[in-house]
Amino acid sequence: MSLFTTRALTVRFGGLTAVDQVDLRVEEGETLGLIGPNGSGKTTFFNAVTGLVPAAGEVWFRGGPLQGLEPHVICRRGIARTFQASRLCLNQSVFDNVLIGMHTRVRSGVWDALVRRRRVLAEVRHALAEAAHLLSLFNAELVERGFEPVGALPQIDRRRVEICRALAAHPRLLLLDEPSAGMNPEETLELMKDLQIVRGEMPGLSVIIIEHDMFVIEGVSHRVVAFNYGRKIAEGTFSEVARNEEVREAYLGRAADAGEAAPAASLGG
Amino acid sequence: MNAIGSVLAVWAVELVLFALVVAALLAERPLALGTTIGAIAALAVLARTSSRLWDWVTAAFRAHRAAALAGAAVLALALPFFLRASPYWTFVATLALVYVTIGQGLNLQIGTTGVINLAGAAFAGLGGYTVGLLTVRLGVTPWLAFLTGPLVAVIVGALLFIPILKVRGHYLALVTIAFGFIFNILMNNLEFTGGPQGIKNIPTLRLFGYAFTTAPELFGMKLPYHANFYFAALAMAALVTWLTWRLYNSWTGLTLNTVRDDEIAAKCSGVSVARYKLLAFSIGNFSIGLGGAFYAVMVGFVSPPDFDFGYSLVMVSIIILGGLDSIPGIVLGASLLIPLPERFRFLHEYRLLLYGAAIVLMLIFRPRGLWPAAVRRYGLREPAASFAPEGGRR
């Protein structure tokens, strides 16, 4: 049985069908690339899976249904995500932005905060060490700036902090929404290496990554799924999907020239 | 400068500020008052212009936090002795401490969690009226009534809040405004709450037979009986501030801040936003109700105008002046905004104008307050790098 499956997942906003009868599966340890032109429903798909928008159809994760559950419950089941426009708390410290990811794993509560401070501090120190470890996978400097507001960091470091926040939840499934958006080629290359490090650190982790940058998709995905107008139009390895006529038409607007040399280059950008 | 030197410097700064404040409060003759105000103004200018001096002083305070707190505690305990000639100023100082207690609760709601409560006075009134009703109408002992007051504020707050948990920030503010007026109208019109006269002759607190209305004599000096309430309020404000600090520098504080800053990110990190908003609202209302209950025992009577919207405004202005989500800011804000209109009597009529102007000016020029909240460090002294693992990439 797959780790994660959707069956006929559909999201409608009034008359607009943003996600249309999508069947999708992700296996354990697999990285699935999710591509498609803007507005094809990829982020809405993430929002439906994480319970942020109401959806029809079925979502199965680790053998249990997810449809109808609240977002915080879905997170507890083991799904973590990043957001297209980073949702970090810019005034809070780098460490704090990662630590909130551990919310579902924290044992001490209000009572402990008031009367059992030693227990809270022990847990906090442990968590800070773990956060530092996650951050250092990407950039050791992030640890040194751990108590600085995250708003002071450059874009790529903020993305890394957001990914660390998601990883801090010890998820089984990680949803990455356009992590390379707004990055130049050097930063994109670094990001891809970051993702490969994550894969090395957590081999059992499954990932769905939405990306427009085909270089990244090709570099990290085991399989690729393509969306258009909310429907899944192709599924397979990267080269299979890249050569798919409907996919090319979705991106380029008309049937691509048969003489195109590198599918990655033609779909890139 | 060595450690002893900078500790002494910290205490010296605290002593100078203390002396100036006491002098400003008590100076009657225009020359004395003028000199004191002039000295305070000169210090303020010095602090703003000489950034080296400012940095050095703040660094010294940060390095010797325990000593600074101990010094401040000693001075706070000593204040009533310097004010013993004036029961009025002892009362005002006590009132400021009551507002510190209320302010920490309200700040937890508005500043820390982003739950906008514009009915602070009504929740204080719930605490105060509970004390009045239980003691005068039902003969309950004052201490029990005093501890029940905040609980009533919490329960009523929860009943009000649960139906509107899913409502967005602005609507919540409107609901609390409405609740404030409903409370005022109910207290004014219900018979058993005493109507416009309120409830009077609330019995005072007694500690092992010692009535708080007895003028105490300590270290050979006679203090007005208000000093009893001052010391009690000091203990209450210190306890509430300390516990609020602990709450803020814990997982709960982190979660509440995230609920304020980005609900969606919080939800997707596993936070039950509704539950935490209710938690902040309830804990905050406990402190607010506690302040109101204390006010009832201190003054001995409660009436509807004591808890009207104007006082909710005062509470909010303290938070904005001191600093949203800033625990020391609340202490500073209350210490400034409560005595000031009392000192300058000509301001008294324009009190509400002063508070409103404070809010507007602060939000325009210093939205983070006079003592802005710092990044959360959980009270840890270790630098960030000390948490790094051995080795690591790059």
Sheet arrangement for strand A64-65: A16-26, A4-13, A56-61, A64-65
The angle formed by the CA atoms of residues A260, A209 and A156, to the nearest 5 degrees, is 95
Cα radius of gyration rounded to whole Å, chain B: 22
Q: Which two tokens stand for residue B293?
A: 């209950």
Share of chain B above pLDDT 70, in %: 97
Residue B343 domain-assigned? yes
Residue A7 — φ and ψ, nearest 5°? -130, 120
Residues B130 and B177 in one domain: yes
Kindly tell me if the per-residue pLDDT of B51 is higher than 90: no
Could you tell me which of A4, A7, A84 has the C-alpha nearest to residue A44?
A: A84
Give Cβ neighbours of residue A142 (< 8 Å, ≥ 6 apart): A94, A135, A136, A153, A157, A160, A161
Give Cβ neighbours of residue B249 (< 8 Å, ≥ 6 apart): B376, B377, B378, B379
Residues B37 and B114 in one domain: no
Contacts of B262 in chain A (CB under 8 A): 87-89
Kindly tell me if the per-residue pLDDT of B96 is higher than 70: yes
> What is the CB neighbour count within 10 angstroms for residue A60?
17
> What is the CB neighbour count within 10 angstroms for residue A153?
21
Query: Coil, strand or helix: which one is A24?
Result: strand
Assess B250–A contact: CB distance below 8 Å, yes or no: yes
Assess B66–A contact: CB distance below 8 Å, yes or no: no
Residues B70 and B126 in one domain: no
Which domains are present in chain A? 1-78+171-255 (3.40.50.300), 88-169 (no CATH)
pLDDT of residue A269: 41
Give Cβ neighbours of residue A91 (< 8 Å, ≥ 6 apart): A149, A151, B261
Kindly tell me if the per-residue pLDDT of B123 is higher than 70: yes
Residues B217 and B160 in one domain: yes
Residues B107 and B1 in one domain: no
B33 Cα to chain A: minimum distance (Å)? 42
pLDDT of residue B128: 96
Select from B82, B103, B130 the last residue of a domain: B82
Residues B157 and B131 in one domain: yes
Residues B18 and B94 in one domain: no
Contacts of B378 in chain A (CB under 8 A): 120-121, 124
Residue B310 domain-assigned? yes
CA distance B329 to B321: 8
Residue B393 domain-assigned? no
Q: Could you say which DSSP state residue A107 is in?
A: -
Q: How many residues does chain A have?
A: 269
Residues B67 and B122 in one domain: no
Do the Cβ atoms of B270 and A136 come within 8 Å? no
Query: Coil, strand or helix: which one is A235?
Result: strand
Nearest CB partner across the interface for A81, out of B268, B380, B383: B268
Nearest CB partner across the interface for A72, out of B271, B377, B387: B271
Q: pLDDT of B214-270, one tens digit each?
A: 888 888 889 999 999 999 999 999 999 999 999 999 999 999 999 999 999 999 999
Identify the domain containing residue B75 by its residue range. 1-82
Residues B13 and B47 in one domain: yes
Residues B61 and B203 in one domain: no
User: Which of B165, B244, B245, B251 is the mutation pick for testing A, counting most A CBs within 10 A?
Assistant: B251
Return the residue matching tokens 């000390």: B386
Assess B242–A contact: CB distance below 8 Å, yes or no: no
pLDDT of residue B347: 67
Q: With a CB-CB cutoff of 8 Å, which residues 275-294 of chain B face chain A?
A: 279, 283
Residue B135 domain-assigned? yes
Domain of residue B249, CATH code: 1.10.3470
Return the residue matching tokens 């325009």: B364
Residues B73 and B91 in one domain: no
Residue A8 — φ and ψ, nearest 5°? 50, 40
Q: What is the band of B392 on the pLDDT scale with cuts at 50, 70, 90?
A: very low
Return the axis-axis angle of helices B87-107 and B273-299, rounded to nearest 10°: 170
Residue B388 domain-assigned? no
Contacts of A103 in chain B (CB under 8 A): 251, 255, 269-271
**Residue of chain A nearest B387, judged by CA positions:** A129
Q: pLDDT of B345-388, one tens digit each?
A: 766 677 778 788 888 988 898 889 989 999 999 999 889 999 98
A38 Cα to chain B: minimum distance (Å)? 22
pLDDT of residue A266: 46
Select from B54, B82, B110 the last residue of a domain: B82
pLDDT of residue A261: 43
Select from B52, B82, B112 the last residue of a domain: B82
A219 Cα to chain B: minimum distance (Å)? 20
B361 Cα to chain A: minimum distance (Å)? 22
User: Which of A124, A160, A161, A164 is the mutation pick for testing B, counting most B CBs within 10 A?
Assistant: A124
CA distance B242 to B256: 18
Residue B392 domain-assigned? no
Nearest CB partner across the interface for A92, out of B243, B247, B257: B257
For chain B, the average pLDDT equals: 90
Q: Provide the domain count of chain B.
A: 2
Q: Which two tokens stand for residue A108?
A: 């001490």
User: Which of A91, A173, A196 is the mutation pick for testing B, counting most B CBs within 10 A?
Assistant: A91
Cα radius of gyration rounded to whole Å, chain A: 19
Q: pLDDT of B311-330, one tens digit each?
A: 999 999 999 999 999 999 99
Residues B271 and B356 in one domain: yes
Return the residue matching tokens 């800070």: A128
Assess A146–B contact: CB distance below 8 Å, yes or no: yes
Return the residue matching tokens 């139906």: B163
Do the Cβ atoms of A52 and B246 come within 8 Å? no
pLDDT of residue A268: 46
State the ipTM, two decimals: 0.91
pLDDT of residue A254: 67
Kindly tell me if the per-residue pLDDT of B1 is higher than 70: no
pLDDT of residue B17: 87
pLDDT beneath 50: ranges in chain A: 259-269
Contacts of A89 in chain B (CB under 8 A): 257-258, 261-262, 265
Residue B386 domain-assigned? no
Residue B270 domain-assigned? yes
